Structure 1
Amino acid sequence: MKVAYVYIAPDIRGGVERFIIETEKRLRSFGCQVKLFCNRFNPSNAFRELVQMDKEVVPHRLDLFGRFRMYYSMKAIRAATLKANEWKPDIIMLGAGFLWTKYILRGVDAPAVSRVHVPVPVEHGPVNRIYRWLTSLESIERESLKYKPIICNSEFTKRMILRLEPNADVRVLYSGVDTEFFKPTWEDKGYIYLNGRFQRYKNQLLAIRALRDSKYSLILSGYARRDSPDDTKYYGEILRETRGVSNIRIVENPLMEEIRALYQAASVVLVTSVGDPISPLVCLEAMACGKPVLG
Protein backbone atom coordinates (compact mmCIF):
# COMPACT_ATOMS: atom_id res chain seq x y z
CA MET A 1 0.00 0.00 0.00
CA LYS A 2 1.32 3.44 -0.96
CA VAL A 3 0.66 6.24 1.53
CA ALA A 4 1.39 9.89 0.73
CA TYR A 5 1.75 12.22 3.72
CA VAL A 6 1.32 15.94 2.96
CA TYR A 7 2.58 18.68 5.25
CA ILE A 8 3.84 22.23 4.70
CA ALA A 9 7.20 22.40 6.46
CA PRO A 10 8.15 19.43 8.68
CA ASP A 11 11.49 20.86 9.78
CA ILE A 12 10.93 22.58 13.13
CA ARG A 13 11.29 19.64 15.56
CA GLY A 14 7.86 19.77 17.14
CA GLY A 15 5.01 17.46 18.05
CA VAL A 16 3.59 17.35 14.52
CA GLU A 17 6.96 16.29 13.14
CA ARG A 18 7.22 13.59 15.79
CA PHE A 19 3.75 12.36 14.80
CA ILE A 20 4.87 12.08 11.16
CA ILE A 21 7.90 10.03 12.24
CA GLU A 22 5.79 7.64 14.33
CA THR A 23 3.14 7.33 11.60
CA GLU A 24 5.76 6.49 8.97
CA LYS A 25 7.44 3.96 11.25
CA ARG A 26 4.18 2.18 12.12
CA LEU A 27 2.92 2.10 8.54
CA ARG A 28 6.26 0.80 7.31
CA SER A 29 6.08 -2.01 9.89
CA PHE A 30 2.81 -3.06 8.20
CA GLY A 31 4.54 -3.20 4.82
CA CYS A 32 3.33 0.18 3.55
CA GLN A 33 5.41 2.47 1.35
CA VAL A 34 5.28 6.00 2.76
CA LYS A 35 6.41 9.18 1.03
CA LEU A 36 6.35 12.71 2.43
CA PHE A 37 5.33 15.66 0.24
CA CYS A 38 6.05 19.13 1.62
CA ASN A 39 6.70 22.72 0.57
CA ARG A 40 9.82 23.45 2.61
CA PHE A 41 12.46 21.25 4.19
CA ASN A 42 15.67 22.40 5.82
CA PRO A 43 17.67 19.28 6.76
CA SER A 44 19.87 21.24 9.15
CA ASN A 45 16.79 22.00 11.27
CA ALA A 46 14.86 18.73 10.95
CA PHE A 47 14.78 15.54 12.97
CA ARG A 48 17.22 12.93 11.71
CA GLU A 49 14.37 10.50 10.93
CA LEU A 50 12.68 13.05 8.65
CA VAL A 51 15.95 13.78 6.85
CA GLN A 52 16.19 10.06 6.05
CA MET A 53 12.52 9.68 5.08
CA ASP A 54 11.56 9.38 1.40
CA LYS A 55 10.23 12.80 0.44
CA GLU A 56 9.61 15.29 -2.34
CA VAL A 57 9.78 19.03 -1.73
CA VAL A 58 7.34 21.13 -3.77
CA PRO A 59 8.57 24.73 -3.30
CA HIS A 60 5.84 27.33 -2.88
CA ARG A 61 5.45 30.79 -1.38
CA LEU A 62 4.09 30.50 2.18
CA ASP A 63 3.30 34.18 2.78
CA LEU A 64 3.61 37.65 1.25
CA PHE A 65 6.09 39.71 3.24
CA GLY A 66 4.97 37.92 6.40
CA ARG A 67 1.25 38.38 5.71
CA PHE A 68 -1.63 36.37 4.16
CA ARG A 69 -0.24 33.11 5.53
CA MET A 70 -3.54 31.22 5.43
CA TYR A 71 -4.17 32.01 1.78
CA TYR A 72 -0.67 31.07 0.63
CA SER A 73 -0.56 28.02 2.91
CA MET A 74 -3.76 26.78 1.29
CA LYS A 75 -2.24 27.12 -2.18
CA ALA A 76 1.04 25.54 -1.03
CA ILE A 77 -0.68 22.46 0.42
CA ARG A 78 -2.68 22.05 -2.78
CA ALA A 79 0.54 22.13 -4.82
CA ALA A 80 2.08 19.42 -2.62
CA THR A 81 -1.14 17.37 -2.75
CA LEU A 82 -1.28 17.50 -6.54
CA LYS A 83 2.32 16.28 -6.68
CA ALA A 84 1.42 13.50 -4.22
CA ASN A 85 -1.51 12.51 -6.45
CA GLU A 86 0.89 12.06 -9.39
CA TRP A 87 2.69 9.41 -7.31
CA LYS A 88 -0.52 7.32 -7.54
CA PRO A 89 -0.91 6.59 -3.80
CA ASP A 90 -3.61 4.37 -2.35
CA ILE A 91 -4.39 7.12 0.17
CA ILE A 92 -3.28 10.68 0.93
CA MET A 93 -2.91 11.81 4.53
CA LEU A 94 -3.30 15.57 4.89
CA GLY A 95 -1.33 16.68 7.91
CA ALA A 96 -2.47 20.28 7.41
CA GLY A 97 -5.20 22.20 5.65
CA PHE A 98 -8.36 20.45 6.85
CA LEU A 99 -10.25 23.74 6.54
CA TRP A 100 -9.39 23.92 2.84
CA THR A 101 -10.02 20.34 1.67
CA LYS A 102 -12.66 21.51 -0.82
CA TYR A 103 -9.96 23.49 -2.64
CA ILE A 104 -6.96 21.24 -1.94
CA LEU A 105 -8.55 18.01 -3.19
CA ARG A 106 -10.15 19.41 -6.32
CA GLY A 107 -9.15 17.10 -9.19
CA VAL A 108 -7.35 14.66 -6.87
CA ASP A 109 -8.11 11.03 -7.68
CA ALA A 110 -6.72 9.31 -4.58
CA PRO A 111 -8.86 9.00 -1.44
CA ALA A 112 -7.71 11.33 1.32
CA VAL A 113 -8.05 11.68 5.07
CA SER A 114 -7.44 14.94 6.93
CA ARG A 115 -5.97 15.03 10.44
CA VAL A 116 -6.18 18.15 12.60
CA HIS A 117 -3.34 18.82 15.00
CA VAL A 118 -4.30 22.28 16.23
CA PRO A 119 -7.65 23.92 16.91
CA VAL A 120 -8.65 26.82 14.70
CA PRO A 121 -9.63 30.39 15.58
CA VAL A 122 -13.38 30.81 15.89
CA GLU A 123 -13.56 34.60 16.04
CA HIS A 124 -12.21 36.89 13.27
CA GLY A 125 -11.74 40.65 13.44
CA PRO A 126 -13.21 43.08 10.85
CA VAL A 127 -10.03 43.30 8.73
CA ASN A 128 -9.57 39.54 8.76
CA ARG A 129 -13.20 39.01 7.70
CA ILE A 130 -12.69 41.28 4.68
CA TYR A 131 -9.47 39.43 3.77
CA ARG A 132 -11.23 36.06 4.09
CA TRP A 133 -14.06 37.24 1.85
CA LEU A 134 -11.70 38.59 -0.82
CA THR A 135 -9.69 35.33 -0.89
CA SER A 136 -12.80 33.09 -0.73
CA LEU A 137 -11.45 31.47 2.44
CA GLU A 138 -14.82 31.85 4.16
CA SER A 139 -16.79 29.86 1.59
CA ILE A 140 -14.00 27.30 1.10
CA GLU A 141 -13.86 26.62 4.85
CA ARG A 142 -17.63 26.37 5.15
CA GLU A 143 -17.76 23.69 2.45
CA SER A 144 -14.60 21.92 3.69
CA LEU A 145 -16.13 21.36 7.12
CA LYS A 146 -18.58 18.99 5.42
CA TYR A 147 -15.68 16.70 4.42
CA LYS A 148 -16.04 13.30 6.11
CA PRO A 149 -14.46 12.24 8.30
CA ILE A 150 -12.32 14.88 10.02
CA ILE A 151 -9.80 13.19 12.34
CA CYS A 152 -8.34 15.19 15.21
CA ASN A 153 -5.95 14.61 18.10
CA SER A 154 -8.07 15.42 21.17
CA GLU A 155 -11.55 16.09 22.50
CA PHE A 156 -10.54 19.74 22.92
CA THR A 157 -9.76 20.06 19.20
CA LYS A 158 -13.00 18.25 18.38
CA ARG A 159 -15.02 20.76 20.42
CA MET A 160 -13.30 23.65 18.62
CA ILE A 161 -14.21 22.17 15.22
CA LEU A 162 -17.82 21.55 16.28
CA ARG A 163 -18.10 25.21 17.27
CA LEU A 164 -17.43 26.01 13.60
CA GLU A 165 -19.73 23.32 12.21
CA PRO A 166 -22.01 21.50 14.69
CA ASN A 167 -22.81 18.79 12.12
CA ALA A 168 -19.18 18.01 11.21
CA ASP A 169 -18.19 14.35 11.30
CA VAL A 170 -15.24 14.59 13.72
CA ARG A 171 -13.40 11.60 15.16
CA VAL A 172 -10.62 11.59 17.75
CA LEU A 173 -7.42 9.64 17.18
CA TYR A 174 -5.05 10.26 20.06
CA SER A 175 -1.32 10.64 19.61
CA GLY A 176 0.91 7.97 21.08
CA VAL A 177 4.55 7.33 21.89
CA ASP A 178 6.90 4.43 21.30
CA THR A 179 7.01 2.65 24.65
CA GLU A 180 9.86 0.46 23.41
CA PHE A 181 11.93 3.65 23.18
CA PHE A 182 10.49 5.69 26.07
CA LYS A 183 10.64 3.39 29.08
CA PRO A 184 11.60 3.74 32.74
CA THR A 185 15.05 3.09 34.17
CA TRP A 186 13.99 4.28 37.65
CA GLU A 187 16.90 6.70 37.93
CA ASP A 188 16.43 9.90 39.89
CA LYS A 189 19.17 12.51 39.79
CA GLY A 190 17.11 15.10 41.62
CA TYR A 191 16.41 17.69 38.90
CA ILE A 192 13.25 19.13 37.35
CA TYR A 193 13.02 18.73 33.58
CA LEU A 194 11.20 20.85 30.99
CA ASN A 195 11.35 19.87 27.31
CA GLY A 196 9.84 21.86 24.43
CA ARG A 197 10.60 24.19 21.52
CA PHE A 198 11.76 27.60 22.63
CA GLN A 199 8.58 29.47 21.70
CA ARG A 200 6.74 32.01 23.81
CA TYR A 201 3.59 29.94 24.25
CA LYS A 202 5.74 27.13 25.70
CA ASN A 203 6.29 29.57 28.59
CA GLN A 204 9.70 28.33 29.81
CA LEU A 205 10.26 31.74 31.43
CA LEU A 206 7.62 30.84 34.04
CA ALA A 207 9.73 27.91 35.26
CA ILE A 208 12.96 29.94 35.06
CA ARG A 209 11.59 32.79 37.18
CA ALA A 210 10.02 30.42 39.69
CA LEU A 211 13.08 28.22 40.18
CA ARG A 212 16.19 30.32 39.60
CA ASP A 213 18.32 30.74 42.69
CA SER A 214 16.20 28.11 44.45
CA LYS A 215 17.46 24.84 45.93
CA TYR A 216 16.05 22.93 42.91
CA SER A 217 17.96 22.18 39.71
CA LEU A 218 16.15 22.82 36.42
CA ILE A 219 17.15 21.44 33.02
CA LEU A 220 15.56 22.94 29.92
CA SER A 221 15.89 21.28 26.53
CA GLY A 222 14.44 22.25 23.20
CA TYR A 223 14.85 23.38 19.65
CA ALA A 224 15.91 26.98 19.09
CA ARG A 225 14.57 28.00 15.68
CA ARG A 226 16.89 30.55 14.09
CA ASP A 227 14.74 31.53 11.09
CA SER A 228 11.88 32.90 13.20
CA PRO A 229 12.39 36.44 14.59
CA ASP A 230 9.80 35.86 17.34
CA ASP A 231 11.39 32.59 18.46
CA THR A 232 14.90 34.05 18.27
CA LYS A 233 13.83 37.00 20.43
CA TYR A 234 12.20 34.71 22.99
CA TYR A 235 15.21 32.41 23.17
CA GLY A 236 17.40 35.46 23.70
CA GLU A 237 15.24 36.37 26.72
CA ILE A 238 15.71 32.88 28.10
CA LEU A 239 19.48 33.08 27.70
CA ARG A 240 19.61 36.48 29.40
CA GLU A 241 17.51 35.34 32.36
CA THR A 242 19.59 32.18 32.90
CA ARG A 243 23.02 33.75 32.43
CA GLY A 244 25.05 33.11 35.54
CA VAL A 245 22.27 31.10 37.23
CA SER A 246 23.98 28.04 38.64
CA ASN A 247 20.94 25.81 39.14
CA ILE A 248 19.57 26.07 35.55
CA ARG A 249 21.06 24.30 32.53
CA ILE A 250 19.96 24.55 28.88
CA VAL A 251 20.39 21.70 26.38
CA GLU A 252 19.88 23.13 22.89
CA ASN A 253 18.68 20.96 19.98
CA PRO A 254 19.00 17.59 21.76
CA LEU A 255 18.81 14.25 19.99
CA MET A 256 15.89 11.99 20.91
CA GLU A 257 18.28 9.73 22.82
CA GLU A 258 19.34 12.74 24.93
CA ILE A 259 15.72 13.71 25.59
CA ARG A 260 14.91 10.16 26.70
CA ALA A 261 17.90 10.08 29.06
CA LEU A 262 16.86 13.42 30.56
CA TYR A 263 13.33 12.13 31.18
CA GLN A 264 14.61 8.93 32.73
CA ALA A 265 16.87 10.65 35.25
CA ALA A 266 14.53 13.51 36.25
CA SER A 267 12.58 13.72 39.51
CA VAL A 268 9.63 15.47 37.90
CA VAL A 269 8.72 16.80 34.44
CA LEU A 270 7.16 20.24 33.96
CA VAL A 271 4.72 21.35 31.26
CA THR A 272 4.38 25.14 31.29
CA SER A 273 2.70 25.65 27.89
CA VAL A 274 -0.10 28.17 27.67
CA GLY A 275 -2.97 26.36 25.95
CA ASP A 276 -0.82 23.83 24.08
CA PRO A 277 -3.13 22.39 21.39
CA ILE A 278 -1.17 19.22 20.66
CA SER A 279 -2.08 17.35 23.88
CA PRO A 280 1.65 17.62 24.63
CA LEU A 281 3.67 14.53 23.78
CA VAL A 282 5.88 15.54 26.70
CA CYS A 283 3.21 14.25 29.09
CA LEU A 284 3.01 10.85 27.40
CA GLU A 285 6.77 10.53 27.04
CA ALA A 286 7.41 11.44 30.66
CA MET A 287 4.81 8.99 31.96
CA ALA A 288 6.17 6.27 29.68
CA CYS A 289 9.52 6.87 31.40
CA GLY A 290 7.83 6.51 34.79
CA LYS A 291 7.99 10.20 35.73
CA PRO A 292 5.28 12.40 37.30
CA VAL A 293 4.15 15.44 35.30
CA LEU A 294 3.24 18.87 36.67
CA GLY A 295 1.51 21.40 34.45
Structure 2
Amino acid sequence: MELPLVVGVDGSDSSLAAVDWAVDEAARHGLPLRLLYGSLWERYEGSRPSLSADRPAEEVMVQHIIASCTERAGVRNPEVKASGEILPDDAVSVLLGAGHEAFALITGSRGRGEIAGRLLGSVSLAVAARAVCPVIVVRGSEQNVRGSFGRVVVGVGDSTDGEGAVRFAAREARVRGSALTAVRAWRAPTHEPGDHLLIADDASGAHEEQASNRLTDALRETEREHPEVEVLRRLVEGPTHRVLLEASADADLIVVGALRRHGHFGLQLGRAAHSLLHHSECPVAIVPQRV
Protein backbone atom coordinates (compact mmCIF):
# COMPACT_ATOMS: atom_id res chain seq x y z
CA MET A 1 0.00 0.00 0.00
CA GLU A 2 1.39 3.37 -1.03
CA LEU A 3 1.38 5.93 1.73
CA PRO A 4 0.00 9.28 0.56
CA LEU A 5 1.43 12.73 0.81
CA VAL A 6 -0.80 14.60 3.26
CA VAL A 7 -1.32 18.34 2.92
CA GLY A 8 -2.90 20.62 5.48
CA VAL A 9 -5.16 23.22 3.85
CA ASP A 10 -7.06 26.20 5.26
CA GLY A 11 -7.64 28.45 2.26
CA SER A 12 -4.70 30.77 2.96
CA ASP A 13 -2.30 31.76 0.20
CA SER A 14 0.38 29.81 2.03
CA SER A 15 -1.65 26.60 2.03
CA LEU A 16 -2.47 27.02 -1.67
CA ALA A 17 1.26 27.24 -2.37
CA ALA A 18 1.69 24.06 -0.31
CA VAL A 19 -0.99 22.31 -2.42
CA ASP A 20 0.79 23.24 -5.66
CA TRP A 21 4.14 22.10 -4.30
CA ALA A 22 2.62 18.87 -2.98
CA VAL A 23 1.03 18.03 -6.34
CA ASP A 24 4.43 18.28 -8.02
CA GLU A 25 6.00 16.23 -5.23
CA ALA A 26 3.32 13.53 -5.52
CA ALA A 27 3.90 13.35 -9.27
CA ARG A 28 7.65 12.94 -8.77
CA HIS A 29 7.17 10.06 -6.33
CA GLY A 30 4.08 8.53 -7.97
CA LEU A 31 2.06 8.90 -4.77
CA PRO A 32 -1.57 9.81 -4.05
CA LEU A 33 -2.35 13.14 -2.44
CA ARG A 34 -4.60 13.59 0.58
CA LEU A 35 -5.82 17.11 1.37
CA LEU A 36 -7.04 17.63 4.93
CA TYR A 37 -8.88 20.44 6.68
CA GLY A 38 -9.25 20.26 10.45
CA SER A 39 -12.49 21.99 11.46
CA LEU A 40 -14.28 22.21 14.80
CA TRP A 41 -17.46 23.84 13.53
CA GLU A 42 -19.54 20.71 14.26
CA ARG A 43 -18.73 20.88 17.95
CA TYR A 44 -20.09 24.41 18.26
CA GLU A 45 -22.96 24.36 15.76
CA GLY A 46 -24.35 20.93 16.56
CA SER A 47 -25.51 18.45 13.92
CA ARG A 48 -27.57 19.85 11.05
CA PRO A 49 -28.47 18.29 7.72
CA SER A 50 -25.65 19.07 5.28
CA LEU A 51 -28.16 20.07 2.58
CA SER A 52 -30.05 22.49 4.81
CA ALA A 53 -30.50 25.99 3.40
CA ASP A 54 -29.35 27.46 6.71
CA ARG A 55 -26.08 25.61 6.98
CA PRO A 56 -23.55 27.28 9.31
CA ALA A 57 -21.30 29.76 7.51
CA GLU A 58 -18.21 27.93 8.79
CA GLU A 59 -19.44 24.66 7.28
CA VAL A 60 -20.05 26.30 3.91
CA MET A 61 -16.64 27.95 3.94
CA VAL A 62 -14.77 24.77 4.93
CA GLN A 63 -16.48 22.67 2.28
CA HIS A 64 -15.77 25.32 -0.32
CA ILE A 65 -12.08 25.43 0.63
CA ILE A 66 -11.54 21.67 0.52
CA ALA A 67 -13.44 21.37 -2.77
CA SER A 68 -11.48 24.24 -4.30
CA CYS A 69 -8.14 22.81 -3.17
CA THR A 70 -8.99 19.36 -4.53
CA GLU A 71 -10.02 20.90 -7.84
CA ARG A 72 -6.83 22.98 -7.89
CA ALA A 73 -4.74 19.83 -7.45
CA GLY A 74 -6.56 18.12 -10.31
CA VAL A 75 -6.06 21.07 -12.63
CA ARG A 76 -2.36 21.29 -11.82
CA ASN A 77 -1.77 17.61 -12.61
CA PRO A 78 -4.71 15.35 -13.56
CA GLU A 79 -2.53 12.25 -13.23
CA VAL A 80 -2.09 12.75 -9.49
CA LYS A 81 -4.85 11.04 -7.52
CA ALA A 82 -6.04 13.72 -5.09
CA SER A 83 -8.76 13.48 -2.45
CA GLY A 84 -10.06 16.03 0.03
CA GLU A 85 -11.45 15.45 3.50
CA ILE A 86 -12.75 17.51 6.42
CA LEU A 87 -12.04 16.07 9.86
CA PRO A 88 -13.70 17.29 13.08
CA ASP A 89 -10.65 18.28 15.10
CA ASP A 90 -8.10 21.06 15.32
CA ALA A 91 -5.58 21.30 12.50
CA VAL A 92 -2.57 20.14 14.52
CA SER A 93 -4.33 17.02 15.83
CA VAL A 94 -5.67 16.18 12.37
CA LEU A 95 -2.26 16.38 10.73
CA LEU A 96 -0.41 14.57 13.52
CA GLY A 97 -2.93 11.74 13.37
CA ALA A 98 -2.67 11.49 9.60
CA GLY A 99 1.12 11.42 9.88
CA HIS A 100 1.02 7.85 11.19
CA GLU A 101 0.04 6.70 7.70
CA ALA A 102 1.74 9.26 5.47
CA PHE A 103 4.85 9.40 3.34
CA ALA A 104 5.20 12.99 4.55
CA LEU A 105 3.13 15.88 5.89
CA ILE A 106 3.19 19.13 3.93
CA THR A 107 2.16 22.51 5.26
CA GLY A 108 2.41 26.13 4.27
CA SER A 109 4.42 28.58 6.33
CA ARG A 110 1.49 30.73 7.48
CA GLY A 111 -2.08 29.97 8.41
CA ARG A 112 -5.30 31.83 7.64
CA GLY A 113 -5.68 34.83 9.88
CA GLU A 114 -2.08 34.88 11.10
CA ILE A 115 -0.05 38.06 10.89
CA ALA A 116 1.98 38.19 7.69
CA GLY A 117 5.71 37.91 8.08
CA ARG A 118 8.67 35.61 7.74
CA LEU A 119 8.17 33.67 10.97
CA LEU A 120 6.53 30.28 10.84
CA GLY A 121 2.87 29.86 11.77
CA SER A 122 1.89 28.04 14.97
CA VAL A 123 0.25 25.04 13.27
CA SER A 124 3.22 24.33 11.01
CA LEU A 125 5.68 24.66 13.89
CA ALA A 126 3.68 22.32 16.14
CA VAL A 127 3.38 19.72 13.38
CA ALA A 128 7.08 19.94 12.49
CA ALA A 129 8.02 19.46 16.14
CA ARG A 130 5.75 16.48 16.89
CA ALA A 131 5.06 14.42 13.76
CA VAL A 132 6.24 10.82 13.46
CA CYS A 133 6.88 11.17 9.72
CA PRO A 134 8.83 13.71 7.67
CA VAL A 135 7.31 17.19 7.61
CA ILE A 136 7.89 19.60 4.74
CA VAL A 137 7.13 23.27 5.27
CA VAL A 138 6.73 25.08 1.95
CA ARG A 139 8.36 28.46 2.34
CA GLY A 140 10.91 30.69 0.67
CA SER A 141 11.12 32.68 -2.53
CA GLU A 142 9.17 31.75 -5.66
CA GLN A 143 12.35 30.69 -7.42
CA ASN A 144 13.28 28.25 -4.66
CA VAL A 145 9.76 26.87 -4.29
CA ARG A 146 9.56 26.36 -8.05
CA GLY A 147 12.73 24.23 -7.95
CA SER A 148 14.90 26.39 -10.18
CA PHE A 149 18.31 25.49 -8.77
CA GLY A 150 18.50 21.73 -9.27
CA ARG A 151 19.97 21.24 -5.80
CA VAL A 152 18.82 19.45 -2.66
CA VAL A 153 20.76 20.28 0.51
CA VAL A 154 21.06 18.10 3.60
CA GLY A 155 22.60 19.16 6.88
CA VAL A 156 24.84 16.53 8.49
CA GLY A 157 25.18 16.78 12.26
CA ASP A 158 27.27 15.08 14.91
CA SER A 159 24.90 12.25 15.84
CA THR A 160 22.59 9.74 14.19
CA ASP A 161 19.87 12.38 13.82
CA GLY A 162 21.14 12.97 10.29
CA GLU A 163 21.03 9.42 8.95
CA GLY A 164 17.33 9.43 8.10
CA ALA A 165 17.67 12.95 6.74
CA VAL A 166 20.46 11.91 4.36
CA ARG A 167 18.41 8.98 3.01
CA PHE A 168 15.36 11.21 2.57
CA ALA A 169 17.40 13.91 0.83
CA ALA A 170 19.00 11.36 -1.51
CA ARG A 171 15.59 10.09 -2.59
CA GLU A 172 14.48 13.65 -3.22
CA ALA A 173 17.54 14.35 -5.33
CA ARG A 174 17.02 11.15 -7.30
CA VAL A 175 13.38 11.79 -8.23
CA ARG A 176 14.18 15.40 -9.13
CA GLY A 177 17.30 14.55 -11.13
CA SER A 178 19.15 17.01 -8.90
CA ALA A 179 22.50 17.10 -7.22
CA LEU A 180 22.68 16.40 -3.49
CA THR A 181 24.81 18.79 -1.47
CA ALA A 182 25.73 17.52 1.99
CA VAL A 183 26.74 20.37 4.31
CA ARG A 184 28.71 19.93 7.51
CA ALA A 185 29.41 22.97 9.66
CA TRP A 186 32.39 22.95 11.98
CA ARG A 187 33.81 25.35 14.52
CA ALA A 188 37.44 26.19 15.26
CA PRO A 189 38.30 26.13 18.97
CA THR A 190 38.38 29.38 20.91
CA HIS A 191 41.92 30.50 21.67
CA GLU A 192 43.06 32.34 24.73
CA PRO A 193 45.53 35.22 24.33
CA GLY A 194 49.05 33.87 24.24
CA ASP A 195 48.15 30.52 22.65
CA HIS A 196 50.83 29.41 20.27
CA LEU A 197 49.67 30.01 16.69
CA LEU A 198 50.94 26.67 15.41
CA ILE A 199 49.11 24.80 18.16
CA ALA A 200 45.93 26.70 17.35
CA ASP A 201 46.28 25.87 13.66
CA ASP A 202 46.79 22.19 14.47
CA ALA A 203 43.68 22.15 16.66
CA SER A 204 41.64 23.88 13.96
CA GLY A 205 42.84 21.41 11.37
CA ALA A 206 41.90 18.52 13.64
CA HIS A 207 38.35 19.84 14.01
CA GLU A 208 38.00 20.24 10.26
CA GLU A 209 39.31 16.73 9.65
CA GLN A 210 36.86 15.34 12.20
CA ALA A 211 34.02 17.10 10.40
CA SER A 212 35.21 15.70 7.08
CA ASN A 213 35.27 12.16 8.47
CA ARG A 214 31.75 12.57 9.85
CA LEU A 215 30.55 13.73 6.44
CA THR A 216 32.17 10.76 4.72
CA ASP A 217 30.62 8.32 7.18
CA ALA A 218 27.15 9.85 6.81
CA LEU A 219 27.24 9.63 3.01
CA ARG A 220 28.82 6.21 2.55
CA GLU A 221 25.60 4.18 2.51
CA THR A 222 23.71 6.75 0.46
CA GLU A 223 26.37 6.86 -2.25
CA ARG A 224 26.24 3.07 -2.45
CA GLU A 225 22.44 2.97 -2.71
CA HIS A 226 22.11 5.89 -5.14
CA PRO A 227 25.12 5.88 -7.46
CA GLU A 228 23.13 7.88 -10.01
CA VAL A 229 22.90 10.88 -7.66
CA GLU A 230 25.70 13.42 -7.84
CA VAL A 231 26.81 14.02 -4.25
CA LEU A 232 28.72 17.18 -3.36
CA ARG A 233 30.43 17.74 -0.01
CA ARG A 234 30.69 21.12 1.69
CA LEU A 235 32.65 21.74 4.88
CA VAL A 236 31.95 25.23 6.18
CA GLU A 237 33.39 26.84 9.28
CA GLY A 238 30.74 28.60 11.32
CA PRO A 239 27.57 28.12 13.41
CA THR A 240 25.37 25.39 11.95
CA HIS A 241 22.20 27.50 11.78
CA ARG A 242 23.94 30.27 9.86
CA VAL A 243 25.70 27.86 7.51
CA LEU A 244 22.44 26.08 6.63
CA LEU A 245 20.50 29.32 6.21
CA GLU A 246 23.11 30.48 3.71
CA ALA A 247 22.92 27.12 1.92
CA SER A 248 19.14 27.48 1.57
CA ALA A 249 19.53 30.56 -0.63
CA ASP A 250 20.17 28.54 -3.79
CA ALA A 251 18.47 25.25 -2.92
CA ASP A 252 15.14 23.74 -3.96
CA LEU A 253 14.81 21.87 -0.67
CA ILE A 254 16.84 21.70 2.53
CA VAL A 255 16.63 18.64 4.77
CA VAL A 256 17.60 18.25 8.42
CA GLY A 257 17.10 15.51 10.98
CA ALA A 258 15.53 15.66 14.42
CA LEU A 259 15.80 13.17 17.27
CA ARG A 260 12.79 11.45 18.79
CA ARG A 261 13.86 9.81 22.03
CA HIS A 262 11.89 6.88 23.41
CA GLY A 263 9.47 8.02 26.09
CA HIS A 264 9.66 11.70 25.12
CA PHE A 265 6.81 13.59 23.47
CA GLY A 266 7.87 15.39 20.35
CA LEU A 267 11.15 15.87 18.55
CA GLN A 268 14.32 17.58 19.66
CA LEU A 269 14.39 20.46 17.23
CA GLY A 270 17.75 22.16 17.58
CA ARG A 271 18.65 25.75 16.80
CA ALA A 272 19.42 24.94 13.18
CA ALA A 273 16.01 23.35 12.56
CA HIS A 274 14.19 26.24 14.25
CA SER A 275 16.16 28.80 12.26
CA LEU A 276 15.38 27.07 8.99
CA LEU A 277 11.68 26.71 9.77
CA HIS A 278 11.44 30.43 10.45
CA HIS A 279 13.89 31.92 7.97
CA SER A 280 14.87 29.48 5.21
CA GLU A 281 14.86 30.74 1.62
CA CYS A 282 13.57 27.36 0.38
CA PRO A 283 11.17 24.59 1.51
CA VAL A 284 12.35 22.76 4.64
CA ALA A 285 12.04 19.04 5.43
CA ILE A 286 12.31 17.85 9.04
CA VAL A 287 13.01 14.11 9.19
CA PRO A 288 12.53 12.31 12.54
CA GLN A 289 15.09 9.78 13.71
CA ARG A 290 14.29 7.41 16.57
CA VAL A 291 17.01 6.69 19.12
TM-score by length of 1: 0.30
Report which structure shows greater RCO (CA 8 Å, sep ≥6).
2
TM-score by length of 2: 0.30
